[in-house]
Amino acid sequence: MENQLKSEVQQERPPRVVIFPLPAQGHVNSMLKLAELLSLAGINVTFLNTDHLHNLLLRHADVETQFAAYPGFEFKTISDGLPDDHSRSTDSVMEVLNSMNVTTKPVLKEMLVSGVLSNSVTCIIVDGAFTGFATDLAIELDIPIIHFRTVSACCIWNHFCVDRIIEAGGLPIRGKEDMDREITSVPGMECFLRCRDLPSFIQVSDLSDPKLDQIARTTNQSCRANGLILNTFEDLEGPILFHIRTLCPKTYAIGPLHAHLKLKLANNKTDSKRPVSSTSILFEVDTNCLNWLDSQPPKSVIYVSFGSITTLTRNALMEFWHGLVNSNKRFLWVLRPDMVAEDTEVPAELMAATRERGYMVGWAPQEEVLGHHAVGGFLTHSGWNSTLESIVAGVPMICWPYFADQPINSRYVGEVWKLGIDMKDVCDRKIVEKMINDLMVERREEFERSTVEMARLATESVSLGGSSYRNFDQLVDYIRQTGR
């Protein structure tokens, strides 16, 4: 009797979930939003960051204040196995991941079996873009594991369909002239998918490309996990979620995460002193641009931002600049300190030509900018967080995708959701000028109707009774039962 009672008491541990993001800004930001949503729901959360990223977080984002309200929340750190002086620059993410594959797996196992995480962790949520060592470990230790993907469902589904595309002869891609060839082997995308719309890691010219193995490994791992969390909503990507659920039945579409968290914080009447969760752990946010926007007419400004990773050549920078100047529209342009590949000073005559109409900033408060009445359009690289933020704000987009999931996101914005124009990989001042005028003048009413409706559906999905609200409740119920 006593043993039975003891085992029952031991069984009833309060659920604690470890959240383990890919050590890259766009991934950590989304996972922090998920961590706070779960904390608001009363789930104990351990956020496991690399030492390097955690130091950046503490320096740039007021995360300790942000999470002080949740007694069950804690940060833990783990080494990525690289020397302290390693740059860990954006283009070395693969090097960081390879190092973690070798050094982090045994350390994580020790933490889970006998270390700081032992006896408390009842579930692991890992960034599905990892090559899977955490999934292997969780399965070995019989700990429920859920994958979280920071990209769109349409991108994930393309990753799941790589074998189908190859079997149907859709890959490899045979040169630039092949880019407009149709890809008809992806269920749900048969009528509009071209080679140039595929996620860039799939656009290979050689089937032995190691990127394909990496994709096969991560998608296989997601199918082996106990669940898949996606930052999207049923009204936006329902048809694709239907296909994904044939392989991952427990797929929780709980996005748009930023809107979901904002609504839950408002309903929770969380302490108003709580800082708005910073979107940057690398750049200082310059809020002066909001004062400049205050003095601009409604919907007169095009906001230009290419996310935290995209880099531009000098030539591309000048093509965009001339296109913006010649469009005669007001513009707010994020010129990240590390964005232009070569050392580039913008010519004085161009600066003069834009003084009264253009405002440049190193890093903007993007959600506030997109929500500002003066902003009427968004020239974006189609990163998934930016795309969702534009959808929630009801701002039409011109899409200039750079890499990763961005090509398929831009195709959906232009061809499927009709929320803007897909400029794709052209960078020409005449095209930039024309697309800005199409978006802001010629086709303004057409886009106003579609963007207002999708913004309504996005907000409805995260509200009480909405699809993302209900999916999130199901996720919390699943995590709670892992403690039993």
Catalytic residues: 27, 127
Compose the 17-56 pattern: x for residues touching ligand UDX by CB under 6 A, - for all others.
---------x--x---------------------------
Q: Which amino acid is it at 203?
A: Q
Nearer to ligand UDX, 145 or 151 (CB): 151
Length of the chain: 484
Nearer to ligand UDX, 313 or 481 (CB): 313
β-bridge mates for residue 20, sequence order = 126
Among 49, 50, 150, 410, which residue interacts with ligand UDX (rule: CB under 6 A)?
A: 150
Nearer to ligand UDX, 39 or 366 (CB): 366
* Distance, CA of 285 to CA of 105 (rounded, Å): 35
3-state secondary structure of 379: strand
* Distance, CA of 155 to CA of 237 (rounded, Å): 11
Considering only residues 272 through 331, tell me which ones interact with ligand UDX, judged by CB under 6 A.
279-280, 305, 307-309
Q: Which amino acid is it at 35?
A: A
Q: Does 228 bind ligand UDX (CB under 6 A)?
A: no
Considering only residues 358 through 417, tell me which ones interact with ligand UDX, judged by CB under 6 A.
363-364, 366-367, 383-386, 389, 404-406
Cis-peptide, bond into residue 172, ω within 30° of zero:
yes
- Using the 8-state DSSP alphabet, how is residue 312 labeled? B
State the DSSP string of 45-99.
Answer: EEEEEEHHHHHHHHHHS-HHHHHTT-TTEEEEEE--SS-TT----GGGHHHHHHH
Q: How many CB atoms lie within 10 A of CB 323?
A: 21
Nearer to ligand UDX, 137 or 397 (CB): 397
Among 112, 137, 151, 225, which residue interacts with ligand UDX (rule: CB under 6 A)?
A: 151
Residues 6 or more apart whose Cβ sits within 8 Å of residue 368: 287, 290
Residue whose C-beta lies closest to ligand UDX:
383
Among 82, 236, 332, 334, which residue interacts with ligand UDX (rule: CB under 6 A)?
A: 334
Q: Does 199 bind ligand UDX (CB under 6 A)?
A: no
Whole-number minimum distance, CB 432 to ligand UDX, in Å?
A: 19
* Distance, CA of 319 to CA of 306 (rounded, Å): 15
Q: Where are the beta strands (DSSP E) in 272-316?
A: 301-305
Compose the 238-277 pattern: x for residues touching ligand UDX by CB under 6 A, - for all others.
----------------------------------------
**R_g over Cα of the chain:** 23
Whole-number minimum distance, CB 387 to ligand UDX, in Å?
A: 7
Nearer to ligand UDX, 188 or 362 (CB): 362
Whole-number minimum distance, CB 33 to ligand UDX, in Å?
A: 10
Whole-number minimum distance, CB 43 to ligand UDX, in Å?
A: 23
Judged by CB under 6 A, how many residues of this single chain contact ligand UDX? 23
Considering only residues 439 through 478, tell me which ones interact with ligand UDX, judged by CB under 6 A.
none
Nearer to ligand UDX, 122 or 283 (CB): 283
Cβ(148)–Cβ(126) under 8 Å?
yes
- Using the 8-state DSSP alphabet, how is residue 363 labeled? S
* Distance, CA of 230 to CA of 129 (rounded, Å): 12
Nearer to ligand UDX, 121 or 370 (CB): 370
Contacts with ligand UDX by CB under 6 A lie at: 26, 29, 150-151, 279-280, 305, 307-309, 334, 363-364, 366-367, 383-386, 389, 404-406
